[in-house]
């Protein structure tokens, strides 16, 4: 069975689906037959661009606005998707924020924002997914390989992503008997515009050389893994997959 056949007719919500790896993943899943809902927090223009891009490629996609940390808004989004498409099969939770800085100087207001979006947001979205997904469904959360790289300046961000990883196996066990898998992908550096922004060529070359494969990850390295977990990877459950070319 091809990837397109595996995705045919299945409905996926991708939070943070209008930028970065969320957008890349939404496009990949749409190209492989999924009916895609891209969630966004506030940038309507970016959401419209994403919908136009995926539609131009032949995909089925709609955009839905909701703050992932707002349980009322997230529940309403699921209601709308169920009314429009009949149900939800897969949730890819890619929404998150990444302010960085050493602990000694880190603004606690930024810490509160990180905790709210990255931890509470994951909990709220997973809670609704656990209530709503149809049998055979999948929940895939985004973490980061920074939890293993342990780079200075990422203390707060890594802590929130460690919390995301901690949820996976417990939620998978709580969903016993539902035929719903729960997994986490933890990418390393991926060659997206966001990665290259503000970095010198020297820094890019150094990071590119870290993996034994000698390159940065490509967006499809991550999206393809997500698609596998969403479809045929049914015997992978409660796990965190580090997608970084062996850099750790």
- List residues with catalytic annotation: 157
Q: What is the DSSP letter of 104?
A: G
Residue in 205, 90, 186 with CA at minimum distance from that of residue 147:
186
Contact predicate 208/214, CB 8 Å = yes
56-93 in b/e form (b: 16+ CB < 10 A) is eeebebbbbebbbbbbebbbebbeebeeebeebbbbbb
Q: How far is CA 54 from CA 16, 31, 70, 174, in A?
A: 15, 8, 27, 35
Helix (H) or strand (E) holding 80: helix 71-85
């Amino acid at each position: 069975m091809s990837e397109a056949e595996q995705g045919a007719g299945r409905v996926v919500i991708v939070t943070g689906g209008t930028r970065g790896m969320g957008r890349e993943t939404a496009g990949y899943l749409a190209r492989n037959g999924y009916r895609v809902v891209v969630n966004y927090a506030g940038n309507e223009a970016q959401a419209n661009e994403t919908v136009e891009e995926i539609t131009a490629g032949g995909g089925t996609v709609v955009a839905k606005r909701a703050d992932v940390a707002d349980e009322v808004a997230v529940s309403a989004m699921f209601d709308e998707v169920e009314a429009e498409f009949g149900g939800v099969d897969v949730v890819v939770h890619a929404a998150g924020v990444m302010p960085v800085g050493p602990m000694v100087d880190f603004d606690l207001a930024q810490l509160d924002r990180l905790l709210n979006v990255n931890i509470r947001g994951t909990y709220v979205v997973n809670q609704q997914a656990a209530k709503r997904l149809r049998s055979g469904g999948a929940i895939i959360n985004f973490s980061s390989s920074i939890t293993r790289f342990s780079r200075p300046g990422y203390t707060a961000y890594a802590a929130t992503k460690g919390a995301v990883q901690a949820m996976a196996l417990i939620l998978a066990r709580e969903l016993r008997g539902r035929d719903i898998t729960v997994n986490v992908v933890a990418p390393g550096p991926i060659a997206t515009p966001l990665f290259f922004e503000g970095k010198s060529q020297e820094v890019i070359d150094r990071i590119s050389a870290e993996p034994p494969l000698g390159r940065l990850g490509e967006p499809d390295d991550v999206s393809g893994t997500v698609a596998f977990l969403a479809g045929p990877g049914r015997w992978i459950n409660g796990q965190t997959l580090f997608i970084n070319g062996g850099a750790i």
